[in-house]
Amino acid sequence: MTMFGLGETEIEPLVTALAGRDLSRDDQRQLFARAAWSGIAEPGDRLAGALITSAGAAESLRALLASASVESMRALLPGGEVDDDQLVQALERWRPRLDPSAAVNSMRQAARVDARLLVPGDPLWPVGVDDLGGHAPLALWVRGTDAALAALPRSIALVGARAATGYGEHVTMEAAAGLVDRGYAIVSGAAYGIDGMAHRAALASHGQTVAFLAGGVDRFYPSGHDALLTRIVDEGAVISELPCGQPPTKWRFLQRNRLIAAASRATVVMEAGWRSGSLNTAAHASTLGRPLGAVPGPVTSAASAGCHRLIRDFTAVCVTNPDEMAELAPLDRSPALFGPGELDDRSPDRTRLFDALSVRSPRHVADIAARAGLSLDAVRSLLGALELEGEVAERERGWVRVARDADRR
Amino acid sequence: MTMFGLGETEIEPLVTALAGRDLSRDDQRQLFARAAWSGIAEPGDRLAGALITSAGAAESLRALLASASVESMRALLPGGEVDDDQLVQALERWRPRLDPSAAVNSMRQAARVDARLLVPGDPLWPVGVDDLGGHAPLALWVRGTDAALAALPRSIALVGARAATGYGEHVTMEAAAGLVDRGYAIVSGAAYGIDGMAHRAALASHGQTVAFLAGGVDRFYPSGHDALLTRIVDEGAVISELPCGQPPTKWRFLQRNRLIAAASRATVVMEAGWRSGSLNTAAHASTLGRPLGAVPGPVTSAASAGCHRLIRDFTAVCVTNPDEMAELAPLDRSPALFGPGELDDRSPDRTRLFDALSVRSPRHVADIAARAGLSLDAVRSLLGALELEGEVAERERGWVRVARDADRR
């Protein structure tokens, strides 16, 4: 295997670093190709998605590098879907970016900042984004913890204007803290104003938080949020579909918004002017059929005009507190404890909790909740009940499963 | 005709004063009987309504006074609708109130304060209340101008909490002034807080305003609004289904709310706590199928919690300005002026405007609009156009129709 002028001995360790795990030879090729594609096609490029879906990332990249002709590309696509004009335009878009050394440099830069590359099929791939269909991301560059990525399926996006008011920030702080308490992770876009407050409040509540960026994960934007984003990388996750080194652009902000909407169970607009960019995220959520909420505010505040517009004209639900936000996308609650048969081996929550526990490595409640996909409350309740039964035990650094004969076998 | 111990010579001038016009002998009897019934049955008494609908106000009152027996009452009702238990209970409710001298005193008191009695069929009867069906008022005691009563079909009710905030009062002032500018009359309940502000702002904008009271129109409630209610009587109208001398009660406030909702084209809740009485008005509007709006506010303000609840759980429309409130219940707008055929004799607006004008008595724009059922804007536009055509003329005290040969004949 030789790609982009790199031999196997160079590709393998790089790809393994980006994947964060050992891969088969073919998976290595595909991952490498998706990494390259993420620098060739702009986010949301439907034709790149169609090519990769149809022929695979590696094969379509090989064809592109070999000739980049309309004929060679058309041969990879199912008949009738794409006309030649579209292919010509796509090749014109991609050709200036067929720069192997830039691609390899960006991968090496990713490895340097401990970024990983998630591709569809990865256990941590946020399956919500697959609902974007032809506009789904080809790959996601990630810096952060597994727990934060695993928490995405139970996340709510809190978004809003950069020009937030004290009111908007206050409400966002209450919302993020309240949702974390109810077992949700907080997704946002790391911008000034509402976004930043959403991340900060989630971190302050020891919750999971994920920031989607419009540029590479090695260059934090806005730069005034360097410290915040560094903390999110340490305790949450930062995600982008752009490779390292790429700057954010207007287009990329809009495309980033579709990821925020798709990766979350629901989107809540906290505060937004009449033309705020967060209305774009709301529109994506709505198009995807994701629940959409908006927080009302004073009608005398221009910073709430976009929220009122969403409630009035776009059937966003009027949400005023974390309970109402949680109702948009309820998490499975553990059933009443000690009810008939609730704690027998067939209880799905119990099974999931056990799967999330280790006999040897103590784990904190938040970590267990993230792994099990259960709310913090549910985990605490189940742990309490199971401790009484002697099934689990609390150690200094967290909870462990009590070893049984079956575990020692 | 003798009723309640009064002979014809006493009844006729009293009834004529209450009706504000000459009536046939039978209409006099019916009006007198409805006046009496309004002091016998509490507002919303379905059985009284059924009796009067079935047998007429005078005949059912006569039967009630003659024997007040279950048998005599059942004979007046269509079979099967009412069981004897209900009749027994109704008679027990009504019997303590069969006091002819009290009834006559309250009518004389009404005449003293220049109150009139509207009954169904009166040209100024607000037909919207008929949508209450079996709960429709039997009669309405009124003090105020004909123009205000005539404006009810194009009114919007602005209601809300007594414990209004500065925010709520500000928004109410803007709403009332803006709706008056758009040709609407303002209906409310004359309470402290939002209601009072709605009336005041309508008066300040030289608009029509109507206050529905829960007690007699001779005793203003709350007493702190004496001056305001006196002004509403002079420039608008005060309405109650209770006869003079009756105090407001909790029940009567709730029943009064149904009149506010039914008499208006739409109801907007400006500010309301979680359990505000104005939510009762909103519920009536909703039950009647009237458009319902609510003004959002800060989620941190308990005074807006009821509004958010209406938007969230009761499908109230989120309205933030007078335009959005007007959209709840649009008035017929005059078509574009000078368009093809718009100003020919077949234009309905022109016909209605001419009907509202007198050759001899100059009338102000607001008065003309009220009579014609057109918006102020429409009247001003049409008057301007017709003045150019020489059809109307402005005098010192208002507009007149220019006399033509047809008028002199």
Query: Do B292 and B279 form a contact (C-beta atoms < 8 A)?
Result: no
In sequence order, what DSSP letters do the residues of A96-114 get, joined into one string?
Answer: GG--HHHHHHHHHHHHHTT
User: Across chain B, what does the average pLDDT equal?
Assistant: 89
Over residues A149-200, the pLDDT tens digits come to 999 999 999 999 999 999 999 999 999 999 999 999 999 999 999 999 999 9
Mutate to test the interface with B, among A158, A170, A299, A312 (most CBs of B within 10 A): A299
pLDDT at residue A340 in the model:
34
CA–CA gap between residue B41 and residue B138 (Å, rounded) = 9
CA–CA gap between residue B184 and residue B380 (Å, rounded) = 15
Q: What does the longest C-alpha to C-alpha distance in chain B come to?
A: 69
> Chain A contacts of B175, Cβ < 8 Å?
none
- β-strands A392-395, A398-401 pairing: antiparallel
Amino acid at A371: R
Q: Does A170 touch chain B (CB under 8 A)?
A: yes
Q: Say which of B308, B317, B324 has its CB closest to residue A296.
A: B308
Query: Do B51 and B76 form a contact (C-beta atoms < 8 A)?
Result: yes
- Asked if ipTM goes beyond 0.85, one says no
* A299 contacts B312? CB cut-off 8 A: no
Q: Does A173 touch chain B (CB under 8 A)?
A: no
CA–CA gap between residue A204 and residue A207 (Å, rounded) = 7
Over residues B151-181, the pLDDT tens digits come to 999 999 999 999 999 999 999 999 999 999 9
Q: Does A318 touch chain B (CB under 8 A)?
A: yes
**Backbone torsions φ then ψ of A394, nearest 5 degrees:** -100, 125
pLDDT at residue B139 in the model:
97
Helix (H, G, I), strand (E, B), or coil: what is residue B239?
strand
Q: Say which of A170, A311, A320 has its CB closest to residue B318.
A: A311
Q: Does A310 touch chain B (CB under 8 A)?
A: no
pLDDT at residue B361 in the model:
81
> Chain B contacts of A318, Cβ < 8 Å?
296, 308, 311-312, 318
- β-strands B237-240, B140-144 pairing: antiparallel
Strand partners, A187: A157, A210
In sequence order, what DSSP letters do the residues of B106-145 get, joined into one string?
Answer: HHHHHHHTT-EEE-TTSTTS-GGGGGGGGGS-S-EEEEE-
Helix (H, G, I), strand (E, B), or coil: what is residue B1?
coil
* B321 contacts A317? CB cut-off 8 A: no
Q: Where do we find the tokens 């500065």?
A: B166
Q: Does A274 touch chain B (CB under 8 A)?
A: no
Strand partners, B187: B157, B210
CA–CA gap between residue A376 and residue A90 (Å, rounded) = 47
Over residues B348-363, the pLDDT tens digits come to 677 677 777 887 788 8
Mutate to test the interface with B, among A174, A307, A318, A321 (most CBs of B within 10 A): A318
Closest chain B CA to residue A270:
B299
**B 206-235 residues inside an 8 A Cβ radius of A:** none
Tokens standing for B357? 């004008």
C-alpha distances (whole Å) from A124 to each of A19, A133, A331, B136 are 11, 19, 19, 64
Closest chain B CA to residue A311:
B318
| B405: pLDDT strictly greater than 50 | no
The residue that leads in pLDDT, B229 or B66, is: B229
pLDDT at residue A409 in the model:
33
Residue range A348-408 in CATH 3.30.70.2340: no
pLDDT band at B342 (very low <50, low <70, confident <90, very high): very low
| B334: pLDDT strictly greater than 50 | no
* A299 contacts B321? CB cut-off 8 A: yes
Which residues neighbour A330 within 8 Å (Cβ) at sequence distance 6 or greater? none
C-alpha distances (whole Å) from B271 to each of A298, A321, A367, B157, B279 are 11, 18, 44, 13, 10
Q: Say which of A170, A312, A321 has its CB closest to residue B317.
A: A312
Tokens standing for A400? 């462990």
> Chain A contacts of B312, Cβ < 8 Å?
317-320, 324
CA B1 from centre of chain: 31
* A318 contacts B296? CB cut-off 8 A: yes
Q: Does A302 touch chain B (CB under 8 A)?
A: no
In sequence order, what DSSP letters do the residues of B68-90 get, joined into one string?
Answer: --HHHHHTTSPTTSS-HHHHHHH
Cβ burial, residue B126 (10 Å; 0-12/13-18/19+): buried
Residue B403 carries which DSSP code?
Answer: P
The full set of domain ranges for chain B reads 8-112, 141-328, 348-408
* B305 contacts A296? CB cut-off 8 A: no
Over residues B187-202, the pLDDT tens digits come to 999 999 999 999 999 9
* B308 contacts A318? CB cut-off 8 A: yes
| B232: pLDDT strictly greater than 50 | yes
* B321 contacts A318? CB cut-off 8 A: no
* B305 contacts A320? CB cut-off 8 A: yes
pLDDT at residue A371 in the model:
67
- The list of chain A residues with pLDDT below 70 reads 1-5, 80, 333-348, 351, 370-374, 404-409
Query: Do B236 and B199 form a contact (C-beta atoms < 8 A)?
Result: yes
Tokens standing for A106? 């960006």
Rg (CA), chain B: 23
> Chain A contacts of B311, Cβ < 8 Å?
296, 311, 318
Closest chain A CA to residue B299:
A320
Q: Does A317 touch chain B (CB under 8 A)?
A: yes
Helices (H), A222-304: 226-235, 250-263, 278-287
pLDDT at residue B358 in the model:
80
Q: Does A312 touch chain B (CB under 8 A)?
A: yes
Which class does domain A127-328 fall in?
alpha beta
Query: Do B311 and B320 form a contact (C-beta atoms < 8 A)?
Result: no
The residue that leads in pLDDT, B126 or B11, is: B126
pLDDT at residue B409 in the model:
33
Q: Average pLDDT, stretch B245-251?
A: 93
pLDDT band at B404 (very low <50, low <70, confident <90, very high): low
Residue range B141-328 in CATH 3.60.20.10: no
Q: Does B327 touch chain A (CB under 8 A)?
A: no
Q: Does B89 touch chain A (CB under 8 A)?
A: no
Closest chain B CA to residue A165:
B298
Number of neighbours of residue B260 by Cβ within 10 angstroms = 27
pLDDT band at B296 (very low <50, low <70, confident <90, very high): very high
CA–CA gap between residue A9 and residue B270 (Å, rounded) = 71
* A295 contacts B318? CB cut-off 8 A: no
Q: Does B323 touch chain A (CB under 8 A)?
A: no
Which residues neighbour B57 within 8 Å (Cβ) at sequence distance 6 or greater? B30, B33, B34, B37, B119, B138
C-alpha distances (whole Å) from A136 to each of A128, A159, B370 are 10, 21, 59
